[in-house]
């Protein structure tokens, strides 16, 4: 068996994959910070604000498994690029939206793109990296996910860093009574 030569731009491709996962991860953080201002400017009701936040998550969760199947059937790289394009289109639509219903629709489109990106990003790594470098490459993909999870946790209301009811820091245990 002839050893395959590694892809010459594999590290650049890994950087692009990590960047795409960071964009997905920080999307919810950015929305949670911007939602109060958006709600005032767009005149959104509480229910509409909930849909702005949840349209993305509902579509993302519903389509993640079928997106992996599409990647297996039509090619992981092709579907990953399609997911990036769909996510970009949804982002542009959301930025240009003039009313809250358009923002909800744009967030749902972004959820479709995210559902394609998230499972297919790690799935393309074996094609880019040989067995000797694959461990390093896979080790570089969790930081965007964990960074986004911690940032997302701290941006949610009411548990913000400024809120005394914050869920971002561990609960403080009472000090033991000193024996005097």
The pair phi, psi for residue 165, each rounded to 5°, is -90, 20
How far from chain centre, in Å, is Cα 23? Answer: 6
How far from chain centre, in Å, is Cα 54? Answer: 13
Question: What pLDDT tens digit does each residue of the chain (180 aa) get?
Answer: 445 666 778 888 888 888 888 888 888 788 889 999 999 999 999 999 999 999 999 999 999 999 999 999 999 989 999 999 999 999 999 999 999 999 999 999 999 999 999 888 888 888 888 888 888 888 877 655 554 445 444 444 444 444 444 444 444 444 555 554
Is residue 65 exposed (0-12), middle (13-18) or buried (19+ Cβ within 10 Å)?
Answer: exposed
* Residue extents of the structural domains in the chain: 10-154
Closest CA to 43 of 85, 102, 90: 102
Q: Which residues contact 73 (CB under 8 A, 6 or more apart)?
A: none
Q: Label each residue of 109-128 as H, E or C.
A: HHHHHHHHHHHHHHHCHHHH
Q: Label each residue of 135-154 as H, E or C.
A: HHHHHCCHHHHHHHHHHHHH
Topology (CATH) of 10-154: Growth Hormone; Chain: A; (1.20.1250)
pLDDT recorded at residue 108: 97
């Amino acid at each position: 068996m002839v050893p395959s030569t590694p892809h010459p731009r594999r590290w650049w491709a890994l950087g692009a994959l990590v960047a795409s996962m960071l964009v997905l991860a920080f999307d919810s953080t950015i929305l949670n910070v911007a939602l109060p201002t958006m709600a005032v400017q767009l005149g959104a009701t509480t229910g509409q604000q909930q849909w702005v936040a949840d349209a993305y998550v509902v579509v993302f969760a519903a389509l993640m498994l079928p997106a992996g199947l599409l990647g297996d059937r039509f090619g992981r790289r092709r579907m990953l690029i399609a997911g990036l394009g769909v996510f970009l289109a949804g982002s542009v639509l959301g930025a240009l939206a003039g009313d809250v219903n358009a923002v909800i629709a744009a967030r749902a489109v972004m959820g479709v793109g995210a559902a394609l990106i998230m499972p297919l990003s790690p799935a393309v790594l074996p094609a880019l990296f040989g067995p000797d470098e694959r461990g390093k490459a896979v080790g570089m993909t969790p930081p965007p996910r964990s960074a986004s999870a911690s940032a997302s946790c701290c941006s949610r209301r009411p548990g913000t860093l400024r809120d005394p009811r914050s869920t971002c820091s561990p609960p403080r245990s009472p000090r033991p009574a000193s024996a005097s």
